[in-house]
Amino acid sequence: MDTHFMISRETARQQAYQSLAGCFQVPDNNIARIMDQLSDSLETLSSRAGEPVTKMRTNEAVLTDTHLLKAEFSRLFIGPYTLPAPPYGSVYIEKMRKTMGESTIDVLKRYQAVGVDLADNFREVPDHVSAELEFMFLLIYKEIEGIRSDDPEMVHQMLVHQISFLQDHLNSWIPEFAGLVMEHASEPFYCLLADTAKIFMAEDHAYLEAVLASAGLDKENRLAANLDVEG
């Protein structure tokens, strides 16, 4: 079994999520480094999302002087005024333009189910895009640990968590969120970032579906299992 190959691929996935999580936080001087990692990981994955990232990196001025980016990030994702693209899952999933809804609590429970919670100095809601992306990063990190320590149960559990989280959360709202970002962004950076996130997560979702289906566990079974759990 070529675990090295598996690990390098899963590491690329992990780094892609980590980079995206970083991109959806207030930009600082690390943004260029984060973009390098994002680009490298998407290249490793041969992702179509690499294309918008390449465009993002062409504007070096934006990446070196983050003043403009910070203002744009604030306008789109922090407010304090119209907040054209709220980066919160519940706003899209529950259609109420409200934070801390039932879907938010579901996210929090999923974090807690694997032993993590929001960091004390992360003063945002649990279903903030950055936290959800970082959660995917963590799940993959743990999956890789499972591969390394030859703990297939752990690998399996982490894969299930990932696909379930993508399906129930991230991918159920990122496309709409990305649409709003693209509609309201006045700088290409966040427009392209939204496109990147949308493309990458759709690909990754399909990848996980395919892995589990090939392992003899198709989507229908998985859904049934979920229903059992919830029922």
Handedness of CA 91, 220, 110, 199 (dihedral sign): negative
Question: Tokens 């995206």 sit at which residue?
Answer: 20
Q: Pick the stretch among 49-57, 146-154, 171-179, 188-196 that binds another protein (CB under 8 A).
A: 146-154
Question: Would you give the end-to-end CA distance of the chain in angstroms?
Answer: 38
Site for another protein in 178-207 (CB under 8 A): 203, 207
Segment contacting another protein (CB under 8 A): 6-14, 53-61, 169-177, 187-195? 6-14
**Are 65 and 87 contacting, i.e. CB atoms less than 8 angstroms apart?**
no
Q: Where does residue 175 rank: exposed (0-12), middle (13-18), buried (19+ CB within 10 A)?
A: middle
Query: How many residues line the site for another protein (CB under 8 A)?
Result: 94
Q: Of the two residues 58 and 155, which places its CB atom closer to another protein in the complex?
A: 155
Interior angle at CA 197, CA 71 and CA 112, nearest 5: 95
State the nearest-atom distance from the C-beta of 178 to another protein, in Å: 17
**Residue 157 binding another protein, by CB under 8 A:** yes
For position 15 contacting another protein by CB under 8 A, the verdict is no
**Closer to another protein at the Cβ: 52 or 101?**
101
Does residue 112 belong to the site contacting another protein (CB under 8 A)?
yes
Q: How far is the CB of 63 from another protein (least distance, A)?
A: 17
Least distance between another protein and beta carbon 154 (Å): 7
Residue 29 interacts with another protein (CB under 8 A)? no
Among the residue ranges 39-47, 53-61, 170-178, 188-196, the one whose residues contact another protein (CB under 8 A): 39-47
Examine residue 152 and tell whether it contacts another protein (CB under 8 A): yes
Task: Name 128's bridge partners.
Answer: 88
- 149, with CB counted inside 10 A (0-12, 13-18, 19+), is exposed
Unique residue bearing structure tokens 């982490």:
158
Q: Of these, 2, 60, 61, 231, which contacts another protein (CB under 8 A)?
A: 2
Is 220 among the residues that bind another protein (CB under 8 A)?
no
CA–CA gap between residue 160 and residue 69 (Å, rounded):
36
